[in-house]
Structure 1
């Protein structure tokens, strides 16, 4: 149908706009998308496309919320408040039984607990309540021996990590996030939508795949991993609908840490910019060694839930298309946020309409590639760029 792209890019970043326009023109339905990119702490891309989405439109960002939560954990580790090698039970005595008492903080954060959901699942009121989830899972039998495997704890990892944060700080994780990260940096990324901002919120929209996309998916015949429905709360008597989840009043109000955040692409990009570099005169949130520790591979092998290989750093999803030092997290509707200390880039992308088939939407690949090409060219400088051109000419001679 072709959707008009609005917004601005800094000089030299025009190819990102062109890539965004090409994607928007090819979409069969309006994506209601936003894209923001920071380079060296400065916003260089600020674009949006959709019939009913502007630069300040707030919507559910799903698991992008996890990135904000892991940044809280990283700060507490950096401060010495949390010890990655201590058992979770040393902070949370009720977290015990079936080997859970031996699980370390490092293993919990990297999805090794095996506590994917309750056997009967959670209804919408329950899945919005992190305290309830944590209390129910603390004594539950895991789906595997804790620490021996890993699998994406899609809708409960925020509750588990959040309870750990509450035990060591006396405050809920969203409170720590608000005090240490969101408010100081003025981030448009919330764990619980403030009432004053209700007028800026717009709902997540259903996926509208093309007939061709549906046919391709149906002909693929890929087998669903056994634990995937469990982790995504689809194994109970009333499987959860992801769109209903994000738009549910209680999810909006409480902002469950696993996937209940609400924000804009500007907020996501600024979060990651603040994590790795100076923003508005403030020092980076993370020291280089902390960022490196949280970005490095913590989960070699296959994810028991998603079947993806080498999936996670320390909580954060690894970003191999960006670089070995990059870290971030995607969201179910198609959004993505990441930081790359090597290039000083921070990327935020949101969609109100679910991308097909879910997870980080396909357009993130060409958008990311365009962003990296420009940043690497700028970082190379005229001398290095000239040397590279000379080398290329020599190779062709």
Structure 2
């Protein structure tokens, strides 16, 4: 018996439910997945499937957190509190040495600092503590000269940008996110899970790859040299990503790189608020700010992951969606994005860690199904 798909879709969006159901039915193990989509500020897709996952289940969403944290940074730039092209050291004087003092906030947000980790790495308690990470990285030697290359700062970027926020405002990025974004919109996406919500939390589950997937992984060759460093896998013992997501300190502190707990509803709601009116409130981001964070800022290959042409400002580009789209993926398979061109805000989670990690492959077909409906609705409205 297959896994049942639950939830609702608005009229005209039935094809998205069919695509979601087809994917779930084809999975050898229950993905424990959620899918939510807003169109022009209205939720039109709200689906979930799994033996132990509901529509309001909360779980670790890994680097989806970066989108929430860097939405706060973008808001502070809009307010004039931060400036894209001001040196990080102007806010944070201890951020110096080896060229760090010349690095701008724009370059930091596009993963150009070279401070992907420290040689000894961090343990589970430390990797959840943004202030501790920032203090250790401030005087550390970068893995490349800042501003000359870019590479994914997987578990530390939120600590670095968050320290800039703290120096400029006296508040943590988690506090500002709660005050300006999460609470006003009632989002189920928390940077620091309140005790009152623990009953809805479920752990991320280990990947259960098929024999074919294991063979594919073995045939892929060795990973890029800096990948293990950036993912805190160079320490002994290497950090386990699932253990990190499920660690009590991660839930408690909500580290800004990869520590949020949330649902697909929360992710889609975040991006809906970023680009459009929600419940009478104007979009959080002005059109020019949204365009700036979406624009490619680091062309060429990523020194950590080897992926090309990857980052805007704190967000990942979404080339499969369109040039105006911006968002972020999460290691177990989650994806969130906003597309101002179509009015789409998309949120997807899976508690079962997907193969091979990063935005799960099914996001391609789900995104295509969503955009097909959205584009048709835009065409009809003209």
What's the TM-score, normalizing by structure 1?
A: 0.95
Output the CA distance in 2 between the equivalents of 1:62 and 1:161.
17
* 1:160-179 aligned within 5 A: 160-179=160-179
The CA distance in 2 between the partners of 1:159 and 1:75, in whole Å, is 17
Match of 2:31 in 1: 31
Q: How many equivalent residue pairs?
A: 382
Aligned to 1:195: 195
Aligned CA RMSD, in angstroms, stands at: 0.8
Counterpart residue number, 2:85: 85
Q: Deviations over 1:30-75 (max 9, x none)?
A: 1000000000000000000000000000000000000001100100
Runs (5+) with no aligned partner, structure 1: 385-397
Quote the offset at 1:221 in angstroms: 3.2
What residue is the counterpart of 1:103 in the other structure? 103
Deviations 1:61-96 (A, max 9, x none): 000000001100100011110011111000000000
Offset at 1:196?
0.5
Query: Which is greater in Rg?
Result: 1
**Equivalent in the alignment of 2:308:** 309
- In the alignment, the residues of structure 2 paired with residue 324 and residue 61 of structure 1 have an alpha-carbon distance, to the nearest angstrom, of 25
Paired with 1:31 and 1:245, the residues of 2 have a C-alpha distance of 19
Match of 1:293 in 2: 292
Conserved? CA contact 1:61–1:259, under 8 Å: yes
- Deviations 1:350-393, CA, capped at 9 Å, x for gaps: 011101111000100000000000000000017x6xxxxxxxxx
Give the C-alpha shift of residue 3 in structure 1.
Answer: 1.2
Tell me, in whole angstroms, the C-alpha distance in 2 between the residues paired with 1:345 and 1:310. 23
Q: Post-superposition shift, 1:211?
A: 1.3
Quote the Cα distance in structure 1 between the aligned partners of 2:215 and 2:221.
13
Partner of 2:368: 369
Q: Check whether the contact 1:268–1:337 (CA below 8 A) recurs between aligned residues.
A: yes
**In the alignment, which residue of structure 2 is the partner of 1:7?**
7
CA distance in 2, matches of 1:18, 1:10: 13
Question: Aligned-pair distance for 1:210?
Answer: 1.0
Answer yes or no: is 1:226 the counterpart of 2:190.
Answer: no
Q: Counterpart in 1 of 2:144? A: 144
4+ runs deviating over 3 angstroms:
none
1:62 aligns to what SS in structure 2? coil
TM-score by length of 2: 0.99
Q: In 2, are the aligned partners of 1:60 and 1:203 still within 8 Å (CA)?
A: yes
Query: C-alpha distance in 1, partners of 2:128/2:40?
Result: 36
1:339 and 2:300 aligned: no
Equivalent residue number for residue 320 of structure 2: 321
| Kept after mapping to 2: 8 A contact 1:2/1:27 | no
Structure 2: distance between partners of 1:299 and 1:5 = 39
The offset of 1:278, in angstroms, is 0.4
Match of 2:239 in 1: 240
Contact 1:150 1:299 in 2 (8 A): yes
